[in-house]
Structure 1
Amino acid sequence: MTAFHLRALAGAALLIALPACGEAPVEHRYDPYTGNAFPDRREPVAVPPGGLGIITDSLSDTISLLDLGTGEKVGHVPVGRDPVGLDGPHHVAVDKAGGFVYIGLSYPVVATGGPHASHGGSIQPGYVQKLSLADFRILGQVRVDANPGDIVASDDGRRVVVSHFDLQRAIKNAGNLDKARATLALLDPGAILPTGSVDPARITTCIAPHGMVLSRPDGARAYVACYGEDVVAVVDLDKREVVDRIPVDASGSAIGDPKYGPYSVVLSPDGKTLALGNTVSKDVRFFDIEANVMDPDRQIDTLGAPFFPVFSEDGKRLWIPTQSPDALVLWDLENDQEVTRRDFAANECKWPHVADRLDDTRLVLICEGDHVTAGKALVLDAATLATQSEAVVGVYPDAIARIPGAAP
Structure 2
Amino acid sequence: MSAPHLRALAGAALLAALPACGDAPIEYRYDPYTGEAFPDRREPVAVPPGGLGIVTDSLSDTLSLLDLGTGEKIGHVPVGRDPVGLDGPHHVAIDRTGGFAYIGLSYPVVATGGPHASHGSSIQPGYVQKFALDDFRILGQVRVDANPGEIVASDDGRRVVVSHYDLQRAIKYPGDLDRARATIALVDPAAVLPTGSVDPPRITTCVAPHGMALSRPDGARAYVACYGEDVVTVVDLDKREVIDRIPVDASGGSIGDPDYGPYSAILSPDGKTLVLGNTVSKDVRFFDVEANAMDPDRQIKTLGAPFFPAFSADGKRLWIPTQSPDALILWDLETDQEITRRDFTADECKWPHVVDRLDDTRVALICEGDHVAAGKVLTLDAATLETKSETVVGVYPDGIAQIPGANP
TM-score, with structure 2 as normaliser:
0.98
Q: Mean Cα displacement is larger for which, 328-337 or 16-25?
A: 16-25
1:253 Cα deviation from its structure 2 partner = 3.3
Give per-residue Cα distances to partners, 1:301-351, cap 9 Å, x unaligned.
000000000000111100000000000000111111111110000011000
Q: List alignment gaps of at least 5 residues for structure 1.
A: none
1:34 Cα deviation from its structure 2 partner = 1.1
Matched residue, 2:24 = 24
1:25 Cα deviation from its structure 2 partner = 2.6
Q: Which amino acid in structure 1 is aligned with residue 167 of structure 2?
A: L
Matched residue, 1:299 = 299
Task: Report the secondary structure of 2:170's partner residue.
Answer: helix
List aligned pairs for 1:353-364, cutoff 5 A. 353-364=353-364
List aligned pairs for 1:6-405, cutoff 5 A. 6-405=6-405
1:28 Cα deviation from its structure 2 partner = 1.9
CA distance in 2, matches of 1:275, 1:43: 39
Q: Mean Cα displacement is larger for which, 178-187 or 253-262?
A: 253-262
CA distance in 2, matches of 1:270, 1:247: 23
1:251 Cα deviation from its structure 2 partner = 1.3
Q: List alignment gaps of at least 5 residues for structure 2.
A: none
CA distance in 2, matches of 1:283, 1:2: 84
CA distance in 2, matches of 1:329, 1:84: 39
TM-score, with structure 1 as normaliser:
0.98
Q: Which amino acid in structure 2 is aligned with residue 380 of structure 1?
A: L
CA distance in 1, matches of 2:348, 2:394: 16
CA distance in 2, matches of 1:121, 1:133: 31
CA distance in 1, matches of 2:203, 2:19: 73
1:96 Cα deviation from its structure 2 partner = 1.2
CA distance in 2, matches of 1:332, 1:187: 37
Task: Report the secondary structure of 2:383's partner residue.
Answer: coil
CA distance in 2, matches of 1:349, 1:165: 25
1:32 Cα deviation from its structure 2 partner = 1.4
Q: Mean Cα displacement is larger for which, 285-294 or 12-21?
A: 12-21
**Contact 2:363/2:379 (8 A) holds in 1:** yes
CA distance in 2, matches of 1:269, 1:241: 26
1:138 Cα deviation from its structure 2 partner = 1.3
Give per-residue Cα distances to partners, 1:270-314, cap 9 Å, x unaligned.
111111100000000111111111111111100000000000011
Task: Report the secondary structure of 1:174's partner residue.
Answer: coil
CA distance in 2, matches of 1:18, 1:268: 80
Give per-residue Cα distances to partners, 1:27-68, cap 9 Å, x unaligned.
222221111111111111111111111111111111111110
**Contact 2:308/2:320 (8 A) holds in 1:** yes
CA distance in 1, matches of 2:256, 2:44: 46
CA distance in 1, matches of 2:324, 2:190: 42
Task: Report the secondary structure of 2:171's partner residue.
Answer: helix
CA distance in 1, matches of 2:253, 2:338: 29
Please provide the CA RMSD for this pair. Answer: 1.1
1:119 Cα deviation from its structure 2 partner = 0.7
**Contact 2:276/2:286 (8 A) holds in 1:** yes
1:15 Cα deviation from its structure 2 partner = 2.9
Task: Report the secondary structure of 2:76's partner residue.
Answer: strand
CA distance in 2, matches of 1:253, 1:202: 26
1:407 Cα deviation from its structure 2 partner = 4.9
CA distance in 1, matches of 2:2, 2:229: 82
Q: Which amino acid in structure 1 is aligned with residue 176 of structure 2?
A: N
| Same amino acid, percent of matched pairs | 85
CA distance in 2, matches of 1:407, 1:390: 21
Q: Which amino acid in structure 1 is aligned with residue 208 of structure 2?
A: A
Q: Which amino acid in structure 1 is aligned with residue 200 of structure 2?
A: P
1:6 Cα deviation from its structure 2 partner = 1.4
Task: Report the secondary structure of 1:274's partner residue.
Answer: strand
Give per-residue Cα distances to partners, 1:67-118, cap 9 Å, x unaligned.
1011011111111111111111110001011111100011111100000011
**Contact 2:50/2:407 (8 A) holds in 1:** no
